[in-house]
Copies of this chain bind each other. A is one copy, B any other.
Amino acid sequence: MNLDYIIPNNWSILEEGFNPDLVESSESIFSLGNGAMGQRANFEETFSGATFQGSYIAGVYYPDKTRVGWWKNGYPEYFAKVLNAPNWIGIKVLINGVYLDLHTSTKVSNFKRELNMKEGWLSRSFEAVLPNNVEVKVNTKRFLSLDLDEIGAIKYEVTPLNGDAEITFEPYLDSGITNEDTNWDDKFWDTLNVSHDNHQAFIQAKTMKTDFYVCAFMESEVFIDGKTLLIEPKIQADATTTTFSYKHKVKQHQTYGIHKFGGYTVDRNHPKVELVQAAKTALKKATDFGFDTLLTMQKDAWAKIWEMADITIDGDVKAQQGIRFNIYHLNQTYLGTDASLNIGPKGFTGEKYGGSTYWDTEAYCIPFYMATKDQSVARNLLAYRYNHLQKAIENAEKLGFSNGAALYPMVTMNGEECHNEWEITFEEIHRNGAIAFAIFNYHRYTGDYSYIPEKGLEVLIAIARFWQQRATFSTHKNKYVILGVTGPNEYENNVNNNWYTNYIAKWCIDYAIENIARVEKEFASDYTRIMNKTRLSQAEIEQWKAVADTMYFPFSDEHNIYLQQDGFLDKELVTVANLDKSQRPINQKWSWDRILRSPYIKQADTLQGFYFFEDHFSTEELKRHFDFYEPFTVHESSLSPCVHSIQAAKLGQMDQAYTFYLRTSRLDLDDYNHEVHEGLHITSMAGTWMSIVEGFGGMRIKNNQLSFEPKIPNQWDAYSFKVNFRHQILKVMVSHQDTKFELDGNEDLSILVHGKTVLISPNNLVSI
């Protein structure tokens, strides 16, 4: 743990006291989002201290030209950048001729910040003495509406404390913004038009190259002690900004307030030429409701989300705050309402990692969305990959594959690969496995087989083709091998026979064959359509089988474990416990070669396979592998602690499970990895959810039934969660005494608890 300034609270993220060094971290932690847009918790007023300004629009990115030291064949021509979008939140505050700026204020006191997760808003209050000795009290509140997802609303209030003051609110729009993620200060936006109409202003801009058209807009109203003031603003505009000035002489202790509504209309939702009109429509709705009504609606909308998605933890406020923080940000990032979007690893909180879609979606996020939303959301996430199948086939062709083999991109925005490290782009091919696994997982959980004949089978076939072509036969080993890969543990590159990769490759082929047979039998017309489209022959399937049946899995007789890769045992097997703390995190301290030859594991790799394919291995095998690998694991990937928490819980190592749970759930709140200022780890937050539901709750699907093995950490009194299982909602309440189940639905539900069948009837609390 490297930061501990966030005040524990069940429902809110709280910060007290102003520390300029923490501004960038808090900008990440207190971020807002509503699925369509999001923004870091930048101050509305001027701030001349260190800040990372960021406002992001879902689906808007920039394909930056690949620039590498040495070009390698197959590199994608571009890599996607998450783009900082025109600023609409800014309100400069001029007080007796001096701009309010916490960095230049001579005194800042009673600084408080709250991210109210229950109701979905961010507030801030403080008192400041300006360089001209004017003392003011400031209260702000801001939210991004879930109901009107093109709209954000800000209430900003200033009260002069030591005399009358002439105060000017200067709400503005600014498209002259820069990106944090740029080495060479490029501009990514063309501003097309800056205009205004009464109290409204608009900046139409488009991204360079990708030509995403966006209209940033704003409308403001000012108040004195809560009463509307009719001030005609002074309007100033230049090529990339427009500023409205509302000047007023404010008496001591009077409160001068402004409501600013703003946001974006984008050409994903409207015709390009109607973006201003759409903005006017959105503003009309927002101002008709007004700030307070919109805020009430916001509370209601979040209440609905929490009603389904909340996890309660009694007796451990930090743990409670952690899980809600994770669930909150997941819902800020992706609500499942737009099938063309996906879940970026930093959501709307930063720019790192570029693209929006990693294997994180399939491996970590789908279980969360499957259980806390309508199953159509998970189906949409699967369909996203189906819609990109042709591009995945083209991507594989660039790497020399043929005959419809698909390699899904490691990182993408639109189906094309947009990452350019060869060891990742070309070699971290296990991602294909997670995409197939998600299809399996979706069917297993929802029972909805229809997706497979409809769409999934084509994906499975293309992936099986890839694995068959990618494996090579080693006469030396008399087995099929997969050479030159990067496994989930990205701290090893270009290794041979990564166990996880080989295992999921074999599984993908077996699973494809199994489904081909089932679709042939049960969905004849789909079968014919797919066979015609893919031109798959029995002879080809035999080739697949040969690979799957003769796959090599590195194994150590000495340790009685599968080896993470062929060369693992040649490493100096010094555990993390013996690694000096000054060397952590190694990805910030060590050169890449040193990391690669070390035994240190970034994230679950072999254990990730044991997580996916739990049924294939005994608990004793799991324990041996956990005991062997965990001591070498530095968990410098956000995706690591959750899987370890689940596995530790399964092994009954509850203290370890709890430690990993805290690490995954408070990864960003406590900044375990020294990087929260760059943004939050959104996708791993779904892993946090899994660590409770699957880890402590022990939830699985067994024989087409929900199954639980509830456990509870000593540190907790009780916890509860809900899952949406096949259109019924099951609430699970675990305490040290018992586990209670309550079903919200229409039909009896047969579940397994510690292996025994239990029948749950709707609205009938069952205690086990």
Give A contacts to B, CB under 8 Å. 65-70, 72-74, 79, 183-184, 398-400, 419-424, 426-427, 472-477, 481, 483-484, 493-497, 558, 566-567, 569-573, 587-594, 596-597
A591 touches B419 (CB 8 A): no
Shortest Cβ distance from residue A494 to the other chain B in the assembled complex, whole angstroms = 5
Q: State the oligomeric state as a number of copies.
A: 2
> Chain B: which residue is nearest A595 at the CB level?
B73
Contacting residues, chain B, for A70 (C-beta < 8 A) = 419, 421, 424
Residues on B with beta carbons closer than 8 Å to the beta carbon of A419: 69-70
Contact partner of A592 (CB less than 8 A), chosen from B422, B475, B566, B590, is: B422
When chains A and B are docked, how far (Å) is the Cα of A427 from the Cα of B67? 21
**Cβ of A183 and Cβ of B69 under 8 Å apart?**
no
Q: In the complex, what distance in Å separates the CA atom of A427 from the CA atom of B426? A: 19
User: Which one, B73, B474, B587, contacts A591 given CB within 8 A?
Assistant: B73
Query: Which residue of B65, B474, B567, B592 is within 8 Å of A73 (Cβ)?
Result: B592
Contact A596-B484, Cβ < 8 Å, known A590-B400, A591-B426: yes
Given A477-B570, A494-B494, 11 more pairs with CB closer than 8 A: A67-B69, A70-B421, A73-B587, A73-B590, A74-B593, A426-B591, A472-B571, A472-B572, A475-B573, A481-B570, A483-B597
Q: Choose from B65, B400, B476, B593 the contact partner of A484 (Cβ within 8 Å).
A: B593
Query: How far, in Å, is A333 (CB) from chain B's closest CB?
Result: 23
| Closest-CB distance, A400 to chain B (whole angstroms) | 5
Q: How far is the CA of A427 from the CA of B592 in the complex (A)?
A: 9
Cα A399 to Cα B69 in complex, Å, equals 19
Q: Bound complex: CA of A419 vs CA of B494, how far in Å?
A: 20
Q: Which of chain B's residues has its CB closest to A589's CB?
A: B73
A591-B420 CB under 8 A given contacts A68-B69, A567-B483, A570-B477: no
Residues on B with beta carbons closer than 8 Å to the beta carbon of A472: 571-572, 597
Whether A73 pairs with B596 at a CB distance below 8 angstroms is no
Identify 15 residue pairs between A and B in the complex whose beta-carbon atoms are under 8 Å apart, listed by A's number.
A65-B183, A68-B68, A69-B79, A73-B587, A73-B588, A73-B589, A73-B592, A399-B594, A426-B591, A473-B572, A474-B572, A476-B569, A483-B597, A496-B567, A566-B567
- Which chain B residues lie closer than 8 Å to A184 at the CB level? 65, 67, 184
Structural contact, A399 and B74, CB atoms closer than 8 A: no
Min CB–CB distance A186 → chain B (angstroms): 9
Chain B residue with Cβ nearest A71:
B183
Nearest B residue to A72, CB-CB: B592
Query: Taking the nearest CB of chain B, how far is it from the CB of A185, in angstroms?
Result: 12
Pair B592/A483 contact, Cβ less than 8 Å: no
A69 contact from B421, B426, B474, Cβ within 8 A: B421
User: Is B483 a contact of A570 with CB atoms below 8 Å?
Assistant: yes
- Asked if B494 and A596 sit within 8 Å, CB to CB, the answer is yes
* Cβ contact within 8 Å between A67 and B183: yes
In the complex the two chains form, what is the Cα distance from A424 to B592 in whole Å? 11
Q: Please, which residue of chain B has its CB at the minimum distance from the CB of A418?
A: B69
Minimum CB–CB distance from A303 to chain B (whole Å) comes to 41
Would A571 and B73 count as touching, CB distance under 8 A?
Answer: no
Chain B residues whose C-beta falls within 8 Å of the C-beta of A72 in the assembled complex: 591-592
Hey, which chain B residues are within 8 Å of A587, CB to CB? Answer: 73
Q: When chains A and B are docked, how far (Å) is the Cα of A591 from the Cα of B66?
A: 16
Tell me how far the C-beta of A542 lies from the nearest C-beta in chain B, rounded to whole angstroms: 19
Residue of B nearest to A473 (CB): B572
Please measure, in the bound complex, the distance between the C-alpha atom of A67 and the C-alpha atom of B73, giving whole angstroms: 18
Most buried by B among A65, A70, A420: A70
**Residue of B at shortest CB range from A593?**
B426
Residues of chain B with a CB closer than 8 A to A567's CB: 483, 496, 566-567
Please, which residue of chain B has its CB at the minimum distance from the CB of A74?
B591
Please report the C-alpha to C-alpha distance between residue A497 and residue B588 in the assembled complex, in whole angstroms.
27
A691–chain B nearest beta-carbon distance, Å: 28
Q: How far is the CB of A79 from chain B (nearest CB, A)?
A: 6
Query: How far is A419 from B68 in the complex, measured between Cα atoms in Å?
Result: 11
Contacts of A566 on B, CB cut-off 8 Å? 566-567, 570
Q: Which residues of B contact A589 (CB under 8 A)?
A: 73
A66 B65 Cβ-Cβ under 8 A: no
Chain B residues, Cβ within 8 Å of A68: 67-69
| CB of A397, distance to nearest CB on chain B (Å) | 10
Q: Which residue of B lies closest to A472 (CB)?
A: B572
Q: Across the A-B interface, give the 8 residue pairs with the lowest CB-CB distance, nearest first.
A: A74-B591, A426-B593, A69-B420, A484-B597, A483-B597, A476-B569, A67-B67, A72-B592
